Amino acid sequence: MSFFKNIQTKNQKLIIPFINEKDFELYMKREDLIHPVISGNKFRKLKYNIQSIDKKKQLISFGGAYSNHLLALSYIGKYENLNTVGIVRGEELKNLELNTTLKRCIENGMKLKFVDRNEYRLRNNKVYIKKLKKTYMNSLIIPEGGTNDKGIKGCEEILSDDDRVFFDVICVPVGSGGTFSGLINSSSKKQLVIGFSSLNNSNLKNDIIKFVNKKNWELIEDDVFGGYAKFNQELISFINNFYNITKIKLDPIYNSKMIFRIIDTIKKKKWRFGKRILIINTGGLQSIESFNNLLKNKKCETISFTT
């Protein structure tokens, strides 16, 4: 389909106060610049999932209230004139005012179905998927986050040949592990790929093992901010300071947490990995508007930029 092109994004050198450039060479791969609405890694993961399908199919997938993936799917559905259905975690959301992410999904023509957490847990269950296929005729069901073999194949296109030669370490935020898996598969054996988990999912490692063909990876599982979409004042201040220093906007769910962790570890002289570091910025800025509304309601400092 016309939407998906082959893209190689740029690496930008990061100059961070207190980190000596002679000791550490930090670069950021600007996957966040691929598209204004679609997160960089969701573009990668949807590419092969959507390229091969016939036009009459409706696309069904799963996500939480801030889902970059559902928004991406709804956008592509609108662009390619395909019906889309989003199955959203949280039955209670049905009765609340929708956040901007979900509102935009609806504006793009996506139908939303809110399910409770027990039903949501069945999202990879074969019997449940069969039932969904019966309810939604002629549909393609894409797993949460677009993480399947085709999604991972798309993420194998993030690294360039030069990246495989130059860098010792590749860092990426992790949700379902698809992007991380694609990077591992396409890395060189002498590189270490480090995943920074944004949620508390003890099964993550087993999921990743199923998708990868190498052992050169490490998963950092304890999100210091308490789990998926959890935050504190320190994180919001960090996002604002990082923007002031670099003019790079970080999302509050994935990339800011990873970069906070990397910089903090280096500053505390606890970085035990290589010196040439490539940080993959996966994007996800669309969640900021919903997040800022939440912060305003709590009378907290907000993120100082818009997308």
Query: What's the chain's length in residues?
Result: 307
Binding residues with ligand PLP: total (CB under 6 A): 20
Minimal distance, residue 35 CB to ligand PLP, in Å: 12
Q: What b/e readout covers 218-240, taking b as 16+ CB neighbours within 10 angstroms?
A: eebeebebeebbbbeeebbebbb
Q: How far is the C-alpha of 256 from the C-alpha of 249, rounded, in Å?
A: 9
Minimal distance, residue 179 CB to ligand PLP, in Å: 4
7: its two tokens: 């893209």
One of 254, 260, 271, 291 touching ligand PLP (CB under 6 A): 254
Minimal distance, residue 75 CB to ligand PLP, in Å: 13
Task: Specify the pairing of strand 139-141 against strand 169-174.
Answer: unpaired
Residue 175 binds to ligand PLP (criterion: CB under 6 A) = yes
Minimal distance, residue 174 CB to ligand PLP, in Å: 4
Which residue's CB is nearer to ligand PLP, number 77 or number 173? 173
One of 64, 86, 154, 178 touching ligand PLP (CB under 6 A): 178
Stretch near ligand PLP under the rule CB under 6 A, chosen from 79-87, 167-175, 214-222, 269-277: 167-175
One of 147, 148, 187, 256 touching ligand PLP (CB under 6 A): 147
Which residue's CB is nearer to ligand PLP, number 140 or number 199? 199
One of 27, 180, 196, 291 touching ligand PLP (CB under 6 A): 180
One of 68, 101, 187, 292 touching ligand PLP (CB under 6 A): 68
Does residue 16 contact residue 245 with C-beta atoms inside 8 Å? yes
Residue 143 binds to ligand PLP (criterion: CB under 6 A) = no
Does residue 252 contact residue 235 with C-beta atoms inside 8 Å? yes
Residue 282 binds to ligand PLP (criterion: CB under 6 A) = yes
Which residue's Cβ lies closest to ligand PLP? 284
Q: How far is the C-alpha of 232 from the C-alpha of 210, rounded, in Å?
A: 34
Q: How far is the C-alpha of 256 from the C-alpha of 292, rounded, in Å?
A: 15
SS3 content of the chain, % helix, strand, coil (to 5): 40, 15, 40
Coil, strand or helix at 21: coil
Minimal distance, residue 144 CB to ligand PLP, in Å: 8
Residue 286 binds to ligand PLP (criterion: CB under 6 A) = no
Specify the residue for token string 């919903």: 290
Task: Specify the pairing of strand 111-115 against strand 276-281.
Answer: unpaired
Beta-carbon neighbour count of residue 52 at 10 Å?
10
Which residue's CB is nearer to ligand PLP, number 45 or number 136? 45
One of 251, 259, 261, 303 touching ligand PLP (CB under 6 A): 251
216: Cβ contacts below 8 Å, ≥ 6 apart = 184, 187, 189, 190, 191, 192, 193
Coil, strand or helix at 186: helix
Stretch near ligand PLP under the rule CB under 6 A, chosen from 112-120, 133-141, 221-229, 277-285: 277-285
Measure the N-to-C terminal CA separation of the chain; round to a whole number of Å.
27
Residue 61 binds to ligand PLP (criterion: CB under 6 A) = no
Q: Which positions touch ligand PLP (CB under 6 A)? A: 39, 41-42, 68-69, 145, 147, 173-180, 251, 254, 282-284
